[in-house]
Amino acid sequence: MAVADFYTKINLQYSSQLSYVSTRLSYSRRVSLRPLPRPHNSRICCSVTSKEAQAPVFVNTEDPRKKPDCYGVFCLTYDLTAEEETKSWKKLINIAVSGAAGMISNHLLFKLASGEVFGPDQPISLKLLGSERSLQALEGVAMELEDSLFPLLREVSIGIDSYEVFQDADWALLIGAKPRGPGMERAGLLDINGQIFAEQGKALNAVASRNVKVIVVGNPCNTNALICLKNAPDIPAKNFHALTRLDENRAKCQLALKAGVFYDKVSNMTIWGNHSTTQVPDFLNAKINGIPVKEVIKDTKWLEEEFTEMVQKRGGVLIKKWGRSSAASTAVSIVDAIRSLVTPTPKGDWFSSGVYTAGNPYGIEEDIVFSMPCRSKGDGDYELVKDVIFDDFLRSRIKKTEAELLAEKRCVAHLTGEGIAVCDLPGDTMLPGEM
């Protein structure tokens, strides 16, 4: 049989099996997407280089921690080593994304695949985690990725089992979470989503890269990140982030608007604390054109009241307009958050991220995930910024958001291995979208 014929045959076989698996799933509500049935427990791949098609190769996957399924054209293998030589490409990195069939991911995945996040010399593999309900949509996402012909996108796999999808992940972008339903108590939301993140923490601990960087986006993201890291004891707690970059971007935009400057002139913007309506956009340390904000915007009442509230509640106002949560700007802020870790922070500036508080220099309670100012050398790691100042207003606001996070932590004690949960959540605080 000619190589080309063989090649086509395998692809056809693959597609029909895939639709079979999808159909079966929709009828039998199986919990886990199993790899397609393959002879002798082997993974079938085809090899092509830019010049010629090679004979199909059989890769043994006897290892019980099997890789999740590759999708369509991404099942073809390629000679990355040769391409690395000619194009000076870096080593492939694996990026796992949960909630991959959702709106945020729909913006994010195409940015990741285009090279605008990790750079034009960084080939990537996307590992997409969906739910049983979203599996078909996830195939649609994978098809669109195929049709986009991104040169840097070398592998795509889809699945609904985090232990399969998170295998060898270098980055885990945890976006999928349940929204708060009508009549659901905040404690209920913490519990439902907490269980998802406890499970995903365990899966990361079992199968991800030992230095995986995790960005938790699904709300309530600070406490979800705490739950996740507690369930992943073999991964450094420092590697877990809760996304507060969207809040930082929102705060910069409002300060720029008030000062009548373009938003690139706003720097040193810290969001302290929780991604909720208690978060503290810090106008004391922020700068406009390198000058402290309070010297540029003299209206302290506006800063303390309108500005602060506008940032805290921006997500909710947006939901009222759109009828759904922010998606595009959230995806952009995930890109910003990753870029801040993989490129050196501009001298004198910093960025905000919700990170683990152990050893923090600000006197914030240990053992929670709290947004604080960070700087990075561009190696994926970060350090906390020491040269920040505090006044009474800032301190008292930080105390409030800290108290909220401590209460959330008590409420999920059953998911962090710290005993019996006690939910005494402050009644007046909400997620940004819960207005």
Q: Does 433 bind ligand LMR (CB under 6 A)?
A: yes
Would residue 241 show up in a list of annotated catalytic residues for this protein? Answer: no
Q: Does 246 bind ligand LMR (CB under 6 A)?
A: yes
Side by side, the strands of the sheet bearing 42-48 are: 57-60, 42-48, 76-78
Touching ligand LMR, residues 184-223 (CB under 6 A): 219
Tell me if residue 363 falls in helix, strand or coil: coil
Q: Does 315 bind ligand LMR (CB under 6 A)?
A: yes
Interface characters, 29-68, with ligand LMR (x: CB under 6 A): ----------------------------------------
Closest CA to 394 of 372, 416, 410: 372
Q: Which is nearer to ligand LMR, 296 or 430 (CB)?
A: 430
Q: Does 273 bind ligand LMR (CB under 6 A)?
A: no
Q: What is the nearest approach in angstroms of ligand LMR to the Cβ of residue 141?
A: 21
Residue nearest to ligand LMR (CB): 433
d(CA 140, CA 2): 31
Q: What is the nearest approach in angstroms of ligand LMR to the Cβ of residue 302?
A: 22
Residue 111: Cβ-neighbour burial (10 angstroms; 0-12, 13-18, 19+): middle
Candidates 67-75, 195-203, 333-341, 426-434: pick the segment binding ligand LMR (CB under 6 A): 426-434
d(CA 412, CA 418): 8
Q: State how far the alpha carbon of 110 is from the alpha carbons of 80, 90, 162, 390, in Å.
A: 21, 19, 22, 40
Q: Which is nearer to ligand LMR, 155 or 248 (CB)?
A: 248
Q: What is the nearest approach in angstroms of ligand LMR to the Cβ of residue 275?
A: 6
> DSSP letters along 322-352, please?
HSS---HHHHHHHHHHHHHHHSPPPTT--EE
Q: What is the nearest approach in angstroms of ligand LMR to the Cβ of residue 393?
A: 23
Residue 291: Cβ-neighbour burial (10 angstroms; 0-12, 13-18, 19+): exposed
Q: Does 326 bind ligand LMR (CB under 6 A)?
A: yes
Q: Taking the mean position of all CA atoms in its chain, how far away is CA 220? A: 13
Q: Which is nearer to ligand LMR, 308 or 326 (CB)?
A: 326
Candidates 7-15, 339-347, 374-382, 425-433: pick the segment binding ligand LMR (CB under 6 A): 425-433
Q: Which of 40, 107, 241, 275 is catalytic?
A: 275
Q: Say how many residues touch ligand LMR, by CB under 6 A.
A: 9
Q: Does 308 bind ligand LMR (CB under 6 A)?
A: no
d(CA 373, CA 370): 10
Q: Does 174 bind ligand LMR (CB under 6 A)?
A: no
Instruction: Give the single-character DSSP code of 90.
Output: P
Q: State how far the alpha carbon of 154 is from the alpha carbons of 107, 174, 276, 390, in Å.
A: 19, 21, 37, 47
Q: What is the nearest approach in angstroms of ligand LMR to the Cβ of residue 329?
A: 8
Q: Does 431 bind ligand LMR (CB under 6 A)?
A: yes
Candidates 43-51, 199-207, 390-398, 427-435: pick the segment binding ligand LMR (CB under 6 A): 427-435
Rounded to 5°, angle at Cα 202 from 111 and 30: 80
Q: Which is nearer to ligand LMR, 77 or 219 (CB)?
A: 219
Candidates 28-36, 82-90, 121-129, 318-326: pick the segment binding ligand LMR (CB under 6 A): 318-326
Q: What is the nearest approach in angstroms of ligand LMR to the Cβ of residue 324?
A: 8
Closest CA to 129 of 75, 181, 171: 171
Q: Which is nearer to ligand LMR, 152 or 311 (CB)?
A: 311
Q: Does 432 bind ligand LMR (CB under 6 A)?
A: yes
d(CA 364, CA 390): 13
Question: How many CB atoms neighbour CB 190 within 10 A?
Answer: 25
Among 325, 333, 340, 401, contact with ligand LMR (rule: CB under 6 A)? 325
Considering all CA atoms of the chain, what is the largest pairwise distance in Å, rounded to the nearest integer? 79
Q: What is the CA radius of gyration of the chain?
A: 23
Q: Which is nearer to ligand LMR, 124 or 311 (CB)?
A: 311
Looking from the CA of 100 toward its CB, the CA atoms found within 13 Å total: 36
d(CA 421, CA 335): 35
Q: What is the nearest approach in angstroms of ligand LMR to the Cβ of residue 132?
A: 23
Q: What is the nearest approach in angstroms of ligand LMR to the Cβ of residue 246?
A: 6
Backbone angles phi, psi at 93, to 5 degrees: -115, 150
Q: Which is nearer to ligand LMR, 194 or 433 (CB)?
A: 433
Give catalytic residue positions.
275
Contacts with ligand LMR, residue ranges (CB under 6 A):
219, 246, 315, 318, 325-326, 431-433
